[in-house]
Chains A and B, each alone.
Chain A
Amino acid sequence: MGSLIAQIVSVTLMNLGSLRRRLWMSLAMVLASAVVVAILLAFLAMAKGFEETMRGAGSSQIAILMRKSSSSEINSVIQQEQVNLIGESEGITHDSSGPLISPELYVIVDGIKKSTGTEANIPLRGLNKTGMNMRTNMRLVEGRMFTPGTNEMVVGQGVLREFDGFEIGKEVRFGKNLWTVVGVFSTGGNIFESELWADIKIIQSHYNRGNSYQSIRAKLENDGDLGPLKETIEREPRLNLDIQTEQEYFASQGKQLQYIATFGWIISAVMALGALAGALNTMYTSVADRAKEIATLRALGFSNFSAFCGTIAEAMVLAVTGGLLGSLAAFIFFDGLNTSTLGGSFTQVVFSFEMSPDLFLQGAILALVIGFVSGFFPAWRAARMPVIVAFRHAT
């Protein structure tokens, strides 16, 4: 047994040592494997980044209420009366000033995207004081909070990064109204950083919204427990509302770019087939190139199995090297790459590509599969070839 392992090790080392003779073919295989892995990772990192941006936004302690079947904030309408009714419901946390509920407005305005120089949709969210207080993960990174009752606003870091003209002190015109940027906030990289925040009363009056809102956020008494609120909604016919936790809401919105991950897997799988063809070519060349060596070893008493394993090992080394290079390239080019796209509410979601360890794992698996398959058949041929034939072919 020990001698078998020793045989395999020495054959593998010999194979690797002779790689220089097949430099170009070997490099081609490394390159092929690298590209397939890099592509897979690029797609997965994009989907992952989007999902994280959405998921990070949702808290299970907060319920979000919108008009029935409106599916996203932009479509929903909520009246003051409904806000009052929800405020009286059981299951909501109270503080000294009353129930912790935040009626919010969500208006879409235009900004100029830095990457394209064209107009794109940004959400302008109207909040009151309670709404601000409920966002516990929000912190100002620069400047100050807007003063209620004025045309002041604070901008998310994502907006500042992707759009022109939202620096502190800048005046921004939306239609007829002039706004002043007084602060920049961070919410830890989630979707709220793609928004502009201002006083809700001002937005209501500028945009002729009267006393209407678009969503209500309520801090739950018990984490994740929507029961009491659901009861209130069922009992009261005026409350034609859908309720879910913020976590559920954003999780479902985060699934939106899932198709990119699927698309990525399909493209990578098809491309892996092409890479496999290239890799098989490399390995068959390798076996043909070493036919004399293999025959010699076999004549010396090395087992078929060690010749087989040596070839597989060579293929695995090449594919994995490619996989590592591909991962590295993907990491350098894509990790943290900022971009933005149209999200569920018809507005820009700013997010970064995210290369997490489990993605690397998926890339590594793909590289190993390519290595194994491309090594297997040539190795089979190497091991099966009768010694005599091998000698004859080699000369």
Chain B
Amino acid sequence: MNDLYLIYKNMTRKPLRLFLTCFAIFIAFLIFGAVTSLQYALNSTINLSADNRLVVFNRINFTQSLPLSYYQKAANFEGVKDITHLNWFGGFYQEPSNQIASFAVDPQTYLRVYEEIIIDDQQKQAWFNNRQGALVGEKLAQINGWKVGDRIPISSTIFSHRDGGNTWELVVSGIFRGNTEQYDTRHMVFHYKYFIETQTFGDNWIGWMALTTDDPGLNEKVAKTIDDNFANSQNETDTSTEKAFNKAFIEQIGNIGLIIFSVVFTAFFTILVVVGNTMALAIRERTGEIAVLKTLGFSSPRIFRMVLSESILIALIGGLSGLAAAWMLLEGTKSFFARFLPNLVLDSHIALEALIFMLLLGIITGLLPAFNALRLNIVTAFNRQQ
């Protein structure tokens, strides 16, 4: 009769209780896995921005425009490697609810600044040469079922077309991928020239600029040069790293996210406390048996190990199955969430974190009863039982 067999027998003596305990742990880790992945997915855009990329917005707010002349001026500043400009188009496809992240950009410079975009050379040239051409992200194309060569009418919630209406006729010239799996390809870009000449809000204005510096170390200096240069002009600028900008943008959603996640994590820990209590109790019930084992000559450390392994085992059974369920849940709903949260994956980092919590749960709940077992005096134990 080896220890494992004993542990197994002890665990399964009340199958229903074992099942319920494991189930509660299962639920706790299911929630932990799913919600932590969700939180990571929400924050992931921040981590992906290039270190040396800056964005230049109107100081008033990022929804205010800048004159095109700023772009030509800023290109000559020292430390600026490549620079491009973008306009937010506020696009949607067919239904206003089907929003399309779409930007009017200067094609050549855009691809230089956003180096993470990977595009077939032939498609790239086709895009450069077609005024109505658009470059569509792989995921966006997938969601809407677009192929290269398709004519797609994209409407704007903001702009009106010079010929009436608010729909622009675009052609899919190419479909781009990202250089990493996590790069969000749910957007599209098309020619600034085509956009500015066909909309009705005047000429020679741009939404904002994006630029790369020669070296991340120059970021601050370049940002200061740009902002100083345009200080006291009609349109003052606000230059920051893309990372900082994205972070600020996410923070606009505010502490709502923080509140949600802290509430969920409190719940997670409470479930662990509740379950831990049951597990500890299950072992405490067996004081008498442990005394018998000791009488039979089982050494104290051996009993200590057995008790502790039992609670760790229960925590792992429940926890790992919960984590697996969370993984399956995320994989199953991935395509559905792809349009909002492209990076919804339960990665090894989260799994590791969960594993640590499982071990902690097992150790903390097992430790005290195990210690009691270790120190248990056989005579008192037998006396107590009566």
Residues on A facing B (Cβ under 8 Å): 24-25, 27-29, 31-32, 35-36, 38-39, 42-43, 46, 67-71, 74-75, 77, 107-110, 113, 115-116, 118-121, 174-176, 207, 260, 263, 267, 270-271, 273-275, 277-278, 280-282, 284-285, 337, 339-342, 346, 348
| Residue picked from B61, B232, B235, B248, most chain A C-beta under 10 Å | B61
Interface string of B57-70 (1 = CB under 8 A from A): 01111011000000
B224 → chain A closest CB, angstroms? 18
Q: Are B158 and A339 in contact (CB under 8 A)?
A: no
Give the residues in chain A near B157, CB-CB below 8 Å.
Answer: 69-71, 75
Known: A176-B234, A339-B259. A278 touches B274 (CB 8 A): yes
Q: Are B251 and A28 in contact (CB under 8 A)?
A: no
Of the residues B28, B248, B263, B266, contact of A118 by C-beta under 8 Å: B248
Q: Are A267 and B264 in contact (CB under 8 A)?
A: yes
Give the residues in chain B near A260, CB-CB below 8 Å.
Answer: 256, 260
Cβ of B90 within 8 Å of any chain A Cβ, yes or no, is: yes
Known: A174-B61, A273-B27. 20 other contacts (CB 8 A): A25-B277, A25-B281, A28-B278, A42-B263, A46-B260, A70-B157, A74-B63, A108-B63, A118-B251, A120-B254, A175-B60, A175-B235, A207-B64, A270-B27, A271-B27, A274-B23, A274-B27, A281-B17, A281-B20, A348-B254
Give the residues in chain A near B26, CB-CB below 8 Å.
Answer: 274
Q: Report the bound CA distance from A71 to B91 in whole Å.
A: 12
Q: List 30 A-B contacts (CB under 8 A).
A: A27-B277, A28-B277, A35-B271, A36-B267, A39-B263, A39-B264, A39-B267, A43-B263, A46-B256, A68-B166, A69-B157, A70-B157, A115-B255, A120-B251, A121-B63, A174-B61, A175-B64, A176-B234, A267-B35, A267-B264, A270-B31, A274-B24, A274-B26, A274-B28, A275-B271, A278-B271, A281-B17, A339-B254, A342-B253, A342-B254
Q: Report the bound CA distance from A75 to B88 in whole Å.
A: 11
Known: A69-B157, A341-B253, A348-B252. A278 touches B278 (CB 8 A): yes
Residues B46-87 near A (CB distance < 8 A):
58-61, 63-64
Known: A69-B155, A274-B271. A341 touches B254 (CB 8 A): yes
Residues B238-296 near A (CB distance < 8 A):
247-248, 251-256, 259-260, 263-264, 266-267, 270-271, 273-275, 277-278, 281
Known: A109-B60, A207-B64, A267-B31. A176 touches B232 (CB 8 A): yes
Q: Report the bound CA distance from A128 to B64 in whole Å.
A: 23
Known: A25-B277, A75-B157, A277-B20. A43 touches B61 (CB 8 A): no
Interface residues contributed by chain B, number (CB under 8 Å) = 52
Q: Are A175 and B236 in contact (CB under 8 A)?
A: yes
B324 → chain A closest CB, angstroms? 15
Give the residues in chain A near B263, CB-CB below 8 Å.
Answer: 38-39, 42-43
Give the residues in chain B near A32, CB-CB below 8 Å.
Answer: 270-271, 274
Q: Report the bound CA distance from A167 to B213 in whole Å.
A: 39
Q: Are A115 and B254 in contact (CB under 8 A)?
A: yes
Q: Are A69 and B166 in contact (CB under 8 A)?
A: yes
Known: A274-B23, A275-B271, A278-B278. A75 touches B256 (CB 8 A): no
Q: Report the bound CA distance from A71 to B96 in whole Å.
A: 8
B36 → chain A closest CB, angstroms? 13
Q: Are B274 and A31 in contact (CB under 8 A)?
A: yes
Give the secondary structure class of B's interface: helix
Which of chain A's residues has its CB closest to B92's CB?
A: A69
Which of chain A's residues has its CB closest to B248's CB?
A: A118
Residues B337-361 near A (CB distance < 8 A):
none
Q: Report the bound CA distance from A35 to B27 in whole Å.
A: 14
Of the residues A35, A263, A278, contact of B267 by C-beta under 8 Å: A35
Q: Report the bound CA distance from A254 to B362 in whole Å.
A: 45
| Residue picked from B35, B234, B270, most chain A C-beta under 10 Å | B270
Which of chain A's residues has its CB closest to B268's CB?
A: A271
Give the residues in chain A near B281, CB-CB below 8 Å.
Answer: 24-25, 285
Q: Report the bound CA distance from A245 to B37 in whole Å.
A: 41
Cβ of B43 within 8 Å of any chain A Cβ, yes or no, is: no
Q: Report the bound CA distance from A175 to B264 in whole Å.
A: 40
Which of chain A's residues has its CB closest to B97's CB?
A: A71
| Residue picked from A113, A118, A175, most chain B C-beta under 10 Å | A175
Q: Report the bound CA distance from A392 to B235 in whole Å.
A: 88
Give the residues in chain B near A175, CB-CB below 8 Å.
Answer: 58-60, 64, 235-236
Residues B1-41 near A (CB distance < 8 A):
16-17, 20-21, 23-24, 26-28, 30-31, 35
Q: Report the bound CA distance from A270 to B29 in whole Å.
A: 11
Of the residues B23, B235, B255, B278, contact of A25 by C-beta under 8 Å: B278
Q: Are B24 and A277 in contact (CB under 8 A)?
A: yes
Q: Report the bound CA distance from A46 to B255 in whole Å.
A: 12
B15 → chain A closest CB, angstroms? 11
B46 → chain A closest CB, angstroms? 13
Give the residues in chain B near A342, CB-CB below 8 Å.
Answer: 252-254
B3 → chain A closest CB, angstroms? 26
Q: Report the bound CA distance from A270 to B248 in whole Å.
A: 32
Of the residues A27, A273, A278, contact of B275 by C-beta under 8 Å: A278
B147 → chain A closest CB, angstroms? 27
Q: Report the bound CA distance from A210 to B360 in whole Å.
A: 65
Give the residues in chain A near B64, CB-CB below 8 Å.
Answer: 107-108, 175, 207
Give the residues in chain B near A35, CB-CB below 8 Å.
Answer: 266-267, 270-271
Which of chain A's residues has its CB closest to B277's CB?
A: A28
Q: Report the bound CA distance from A82 to B113 in whole Å.
A: 42
| Residue picked from A175, A281, A285, A341, most chain B C-beta under 10 Å | A281
A315 → chain B closest CB, angstroms? 14
